[in-house]
Amino acid sequence: MRILMIQPNYHAGGAEIAGNWPPSWVAYIGGALKGAGYTNIRFVDAMTNDIPDDTLREIIRQNDPDIVMATAITPMIYKAQNTLKMAREVCPQAKTILGGIHPTFMYVQVLTEAPWIDYIVRGEGEEIIVNLMRSIEAGADLRERRKINGLAFIDEDQIVATPAQPPLKEIDKLDPDWSLLEWDKYIYIPLNVRVAVPNFARGCPFTCRFCSQWMFWRDYRVRDPKKFVDEIETLVKQHNVGFFIMADEEPTIHKRKFVAMCEELEKRQLGVHWGINTRVTDILRDEALLPLYRRAGLVHVSLGTEAASQLNLDVFRKETTIEQNKRAIQLLKDNGMVAEAQFIMGMENETPETIEETYRMALDWDPDMANWNMYTPWPFAELFEDLGERVEVRDYSKYNFVTPIMKPEAMDREDVLKGVLRCYGRFYMRKTFLGYPF
């Protein structure tokens, strides 16, 4: 069967400032398919290549696929639905498949809005997609689909969701096919090198109310450190990757395996740099190990400080204090790593005073980088249910961490945006002028 994988052409700025990011789902799902014998796979990165709809339509026509699959995070959902609509119009015989975190939880809305989607893959997709593909290849999917775990689809005008597929038990059997990607396009601008986004672990043992990764991956599983470094070595030697960011929510949770991974990276001397997102508490816990992490190539750590006021930290079910945030940032800087502080803005209790307080905290902590992200209440996250009518924006394409989505009790959304932009301007202007040699 001819399989066409498409990354929808969605752009929102933000992370794209630092470069183009390779969509890891292609490698992991593509690797599972190839391991099952499906080798006629082509990937089209409409996002990185900014492919217009008319051009993408022609690409689909020329490939004449039997299967067209796409992915969608929340702000990408409309583009993903439209991509598969084009596929249905151009190749009506092809099966259309959508995966990703948004359709996993919002499958009823997605299938209602986009009935041309044949199947939604819900959750971790490697085993589900292989089971579905075998059924399609045998021409039996319409008869067997209710027996395939992890799917959602329309059957006789009814939306059906089959039982969830259990999480992968043997995560070390993951065999991603990174050769599917266009590596010359994925450049990390700060270092001007190719960038990858591999998984060291899946899942998260924490249940932050604003997040949903723990809901998507469910069980927390960590890969064998040596096998993970084998994958990094493949990325470096076969695809000339010079920088990678772990896709994990918090790769340092399993201290023993994270340390073993760093020791293996140091031992192999691959010359690759890397970055992570993690928790303040893990940096404080590992103070004595930070020199090892740096020798292993860790150069950029983004910390989920989330908000300056302790009240917001409690709302987010965090476990850190203001002073802990400050100390963790200083430890990273002392060990030669870029320390990035992440703040979440625009909660219901936001005021001009709390925005200013957050800015003052950033000055006091003095991270190398700071991001003031708009609180983006995923429609399937626990905290969303509590917000009710305060969520004023229901256009999911705006759920990009840049657009204010909800109205605080004491401010308009527009004023929150103005306050955040003022924080950015003052923080980075100060960094610029303090760097002048006078």
Given a cut of 70, is residue 10 above it in pLDDT? yes
Position 309 scores a pLDDT of 45
Given a cut of 80, is residue 281 above it in pLDDT? yes
CATH number, domain of 126, equals 3.40.50.2300
Given a cut of 50, is residue 252 above it in pLDDT? yes
Q: Give the residue-averaged pLDDT of 400-406.
A: 91
Quickly list H helices, 36-125: 53-63, 77-90, 101-105, 107-113
Q: Give yes or no: residues 52 and 157 share one domain.
A: yes
Position 249 scores a pLDDT of 81
pLDDT band with cut points at 50, 70 and 90 for residue 307: low
pLDDT band with cut points at 50, 70 and 90 for residue 316: low
Q: Give yes or no: residues 57 and 198 share one domain.
A: no
Tell me if 328 is assigned to some domain.
yes
Position 208 scores a pLDDT of 63
Tell me if 60 is assigned to some domain.
yes
Q: Give the residue-averaged pLDDT of 121-131.
A: 96
pLDDT band with cut points at 50, 70 and 90 for residue 69: very high
Of 126, 161, 196, at which residue does a domain stop? Answer: 161
Quote the number of domains for the chain. 2
Tell me if 382 is assigned to some domain.
yes
- Domain housing 39: 3-161
Of 243, 202, 232, 234, residue with least CA distance to 219: 202
Q: Give 44: exposed, middle or buried? Use CB within 10 Å, 0-12, 13-18, 19+.
A: buried
Position 317 scores a pLDDT of 52
Position 214 scores a pLDDT of 59
**Mean pLDDT estimate for the chain:** 92
Q: Give yes or no: residues 220 and 282 share one domain.
A: yes
Contacts of 374 (CB under 8 A, 6+ apart): 344, 345, 346, 401, 402, 403, 404, 405, 416, 417, 420
CA separation for the pair 308, 363 (Å, rounded): 11
Position 438 scores a pLDDT of 43
pLDDT digits (tens, 9 = 90+) for 179-238: 999 999 999 999 999 999 999 988 776 666 666 665 666 678 899 999 999 999 999 999
Tell me if 47 is assigned to some domain.
yes
Q: Give yes or no: residues 197 and 127 share one domain.
A: no
Query: What percentage of residues in the chain have a pLDDT greater than 70?
Result: 92
pLDDT digits (tens, 9 = 90+) for 140-154: 999 999 999 999 999
pLDDT digits (tens, 9 = 90+) for 85-118: 999 999 999 999 999 999 999 999 999 999 999 9
Given a cut of 90, is residue 20 above it in pLDDT? yes
Contacts of 248 (CB under 8 A, 6+ apart): 199, 200, 201, 202, 276, 277
Q: Give the residue-averaged pLDDT of 269-291.
A: 96
Q: Give yes or no: residues 230 and 373 share one domain.
A: yes
CATH number, domain of 272, equals 3.20.20.70
Position 310 scores a pLDDT of 43
Contact 337/301 with Cβ under 8 angstroms? Answer: yes
Tell me if 298 is assigned to some domain.
yes
Q: Give yes or no: residues 112 and 237 share one domain.
A: no
Q: Give yes or no: residues 267 and 337 share one domain.
A: yes
Q: Which of 14-28, 48-62, 295-309 has the highest mean pLDDT?
A: 48-62
Position 127 scores a pLDDT of 96
Q: Give yes or no: residues 119 and 241 share one domain.
A: no
Given a cut of 60, is residue 311 above it in pLDDT? no
157: left (phi over 0), alpha (psi -120 to 50) or beta: left
Tell me if 149 is assigned to some domain.
yes
Given a cut of 90, is residue 334 above it in pLDDT? yes
Higher pLDDT, 149 or 309: 149
Q: Is the dihedral of CA 77, 382, 400, 351 positive or negative?
A: positive
Q: Give yes or no: residues 228 and 140 share one domain.
A: no
